[in-house]
Amino acid sequence: MIDFRTQPDQYKHWKLSFDGPVATLTMDVDENGGLVDGYELKLNSYDLGVDIELYDITQRLRFEHPEVGCVMMTSGKDRVFCAGANIKMLGTSSHAWKVNFCKFTNETRNGIEDASEISDQKYLCVINGVAAGGGYELALAADHIMLVDDGASSVSLPEVPLLAVLPGTGGLTRVVDKRHVRRDHADYFCTLAEGIRGKRAVDWKLVDEVVPRSKLEETAAARARELAAATNRPTDARGIELTPLDIDFSGDAVKYGTLDVEIDRDNYVATVTLKAPDEAPSADLAAIHDQGAAYWPLAFARDLDNFIIHMRTNEPEISTWVFKSVGDGANVAAADRALMDNAGDWLVREIIHYLKRTLKRLDVSSRSVITLVEPGSAFSGTFFEFVLAADRSYMLDGNLEGSNLPPATIRLTGMNFGHLPMCNGLSRMETRFLDESSRVEDAKAETGNDLDAEAAEELGLVTFIPDDIDWDDEVRIAIEERASFSTDALTGMEASLRFAGPETLETKIFGRLSAWQNWIFQRPNAVGDEGALKLYGTGQKANFNKERV
């Protein structure tokens, strides 16, 4: 099992230092520190373990270091910045592992960009050597790229000529959509294995500036101070510690503080029970800061985040996630109110956007999502996002025979109307009612009201509302039917249906990852016995099937 929990004293591959508002993040990968046996992480190449640490660092920089306005990324190796994803690791990994690895690294780099946009924590990448493939893709996530001008250092995306695959971490999209590199220049760049250096790299917008090696340290420090000085980070604030998560892995059950998971391997289902807080979380700003990582909305975001990445990596055959909830939905609504009322505070801002990023991670997971709203449920506000995020939802109309619980209700809060946008830049409510703004307004008018099944169906907020006679059969059939379908077909279908509306950098990256890279990673030109990914480094030449498809 891959454990995604880590902390600074466990890092093998990164070094972090601080100088006032500037943090320096140095990539110094331990060659023998691979997550599994069978490869060496030479030339600052990376595997999932390296990126687990990077993700942890980016989270801690946001929550534990509010004083940091600029993060300078560089390499601790001589003449090499990063050689990208380790090729032997990719060549020996399963298809599912490769795709999940690319998805996680994409989300981590999206998180860097989110830190810049939302938290005003800017990233400066100082390329002090060769940046190839994923190494350059890491640089592309930064706000400013500086390349040493020494006649040898370069940037490249060599996957097409060398490996017969694509840059898996959004490289193609970021080159043309983010850095606005001309298409003809991009075409040449992405088919040139040795990359581009010096003045041409600047002229083609692949980097922002080149600096002689003799002036690199001085110039990088000055640029970092400039970026830090221009941010709105609270220089006098005290961060909170992201304490270790307490998770109980017990056979087919996983228990977190704010949610429980039960796995049914016969039906390939994980049932996730979201637990509302026992009491209304404090709305007092001082109390929120004092509680830190124990504050319920933050604790829930962290538990949910770990659940998603744990299940995607360690339980690939559990293809349907069924969400339920228990407790008092009023306490979830109170948590939402506390966050929205204090949204101007730096820590509360980080909590809201952590919830946003984690729900985005749910959206892009290649798992079927079914949400069940039953008596005793707590689908209010943030929890109601799981109804909106579901591929389909069922809400019981009335009571279950023999139950003394009141009929199920749902409650909308302000969090459902823009605070937690999807990758397409729209709320899940807006995506649900695309080009039907009146339906969104009708739903918004019911904010704060407890809505029964008939009202929820009338507003278009749930898919089906069976009564107690049909409930068990309809839910069972939906889950069993899902298990009978091709998981490949479901992955393609769900990814195509979930992101209606505007195309954004994120939707392009994940759409292409789900389609092109998913397909190319299985083609013999890449992974066959004579494929480029398999033969790389052996001295043998790949044998390509020349047919276009």
Which active-site residues does the annotation give? 137, 159
Question: φ, ψ for residue 36 (rounded to 5)?
Answer: -130, 170
**Considering only CA atoms, which of 334, 346, 345 is closest in space to residue 282?**
334
User: Counting beta carbons within 10 angstroms of the beta carbon of residue 64, is it exposed (0 to 12), middle (13 to 18) or buried (19 or more)?
Assistant: middle
| Neighbouring C-alpha atoms within 13 Å toward the C-beta of 211 | 21
Interacting residues of 117 by C-beta distance below 8 A, sequence separation 6+? none
Residue appearing with tokens 């060659």: 31
| Cα–Cα distance, 97 to 154 (Å, whole number) | 29
Amino acid at 370: I
The whole-angstrom separation of Cα 367 and Cα 344 is 35
Are the C-beta atoms of 261 and 267 separated by less than 8 Å? no
Which ranges of 190-246 does DSSP label H, i.e. alpha helix?
198-203, 216-229
Q: What is the DSSP letter of 381?
A: G
Report helix, strand or coil for 137.
helix
Q: Burial, 200: exposed, middle or buried (Cβ in 10 Å; 0-12, 13-18, 19+)?
A: middle
- For residue 506, the SS3 value is helix
For 105-193, list the strands marked E by DSSP: 122-127, 129-132, 144-148, 155-156
Please state, as a whole number, how many other Cβ atoms lie within 10 Å of the Cβ of residue 437: 10
Amino acid at 413: T
3-state secondary structure 253-304: EEECCCEEEEEECCCCEEEEEEECCCCCCCCCHHHHHHHHHHCHHHHHHHHH
Q: Torsions phi, psi of 254, nearest 5?
A: -130, 125
Per the CB < 8 A criterion, the answer to whether 285 and 345 are in contact is yes
The sign of the dihedral angle between the CA atoms of 507, 508, 509, 515 is positive
